[in-house]
């Protein structure tokens, strides 16, 4: 099984006319994803990559039966794009766009939440359930992923490729890999990702790629400690060097900010370890830490 997406997910691309959207969508189509339409206002009736283009998400849903959306719309229009998908009845919205104004995203998030819509991102690079479907995720990249029992949750889009690559090279497959997004506020947190993986019987362990800033790792650790997540977790916490930088200085993602001792990587490592998480000192340690947690014949 998998979480969020599978071979039955029908995807619409908002902003399909853009270069990045077309590059990713070519890969999704090659991977076998059911991409059914694109949305570009004013271009109804045209075709991009062989896909019909509509003016609105509502038209795409009505005519093509889409149930998930990927948003490549620039930051200033992203709030409207999210709400358009929400009001059209889409239940999963992946937001590739980064640095959406905080107020815009918070308003869109609470409306989406009130309607039972799952948001992933902003500043996500995508979701993949290997051998089933992918949304976002650069190009086709089949060599990085293989189906199996390990779920991935990553604040970094790049590491949403690299960690599966490490596991695949070690013969360890993945159930679903989710780039949750690197902005200050995201639609789905580590804890919520763990809740989804807890419900998936074929996910036997989870890897978390963590970064400085915010409280998501601490919330996940408390959730694990309380018994909310019953499966083994391996985590890598990046950015120890940031503890020597001036407080409040962002480095990399918008959410990677240490303020008044909050969000320090050392604190995240400590609370995760206290919750029973295996914390890797190097990314290359991740496959070795997973091996004793899940039987080798179950990792194929």
Q: How far apart are CA 151 and CA 16, in angstroms?
A: 29
Tokens of 121: 């991102």
Closest CA to 49 of 40, 33, 38: 38
Catalytic residue among 79, 253, 264, 268: 253
For residues 115 and 136, what is the distance between their CA atoms, to the nearest angstrom?
A: 24
Does residue 253 carry a catalytic annotation?
Answer: yes
* C-beta separation of 184 from 255 below 8 A: yes
Residue for token pair 């039955």:
8
Q: Which residues are catalytic?
A: 253
């Amino acid at each position: 099984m998998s979480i969020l997406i599978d071979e039955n997910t029908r995807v619409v691309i908002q902003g399909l006319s853009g270069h990045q959207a077309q590059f990713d969508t070519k890969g999704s189509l090659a991977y076998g994803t059911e991409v059914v339409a694109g949305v570009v206002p004013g271009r109804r009736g045209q075709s991009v990559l062989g896909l019909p283009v509509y003016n609105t998400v509502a038209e795409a849903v009505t005519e093509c039966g889409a149930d998930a959306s990927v948003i490549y719309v620039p930051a200033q229009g992203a709030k409207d794009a999210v709400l358009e998908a929400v009001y059209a009845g889409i239940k999963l919205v992946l937001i590739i766009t980064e640095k959406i104004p905080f107020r815009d995203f918070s308003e869109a998030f609470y409306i989406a939440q009130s309607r039972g819509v799952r948001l992933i991102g902003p500043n996500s690079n995508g979701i993949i359930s290997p051998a089933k479907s992918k949304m976002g995720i650069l190009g086709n990249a089949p060599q990085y992923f293989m189906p199996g029992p390990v779920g991935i949750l990553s604040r970094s889009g790049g590491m949403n490729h690299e960690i599966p690559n490490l596991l695949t090279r070690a013969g360890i497959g993945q159930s679903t890999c989710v780039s949750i997004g690197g902005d200050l506020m995201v639609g789905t947190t580590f804890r919520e990702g763990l809740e989804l993986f807890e419900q998936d019987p074929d996910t036997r362990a989870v890897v978390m790629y963590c970064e400085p800033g915010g409280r998501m790792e601490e919330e996940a650790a408390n959730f694990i400690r309380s018994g909310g997540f019953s499966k083994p977790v391996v985590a890598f916490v990046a950015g120890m060097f940031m503890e020597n930088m001036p407080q409040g200085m962002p480095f990399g993602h918008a959410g990677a900010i240490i303020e008044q001792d909050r969000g320090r990587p050392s604190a995240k490592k400590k609370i995760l370890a206290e919750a029973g998480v295996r914390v890797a000192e190097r990314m290359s340690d991740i496959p070795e830490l997973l091996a004793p947690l899940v039987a080798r014949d179950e990792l194929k």
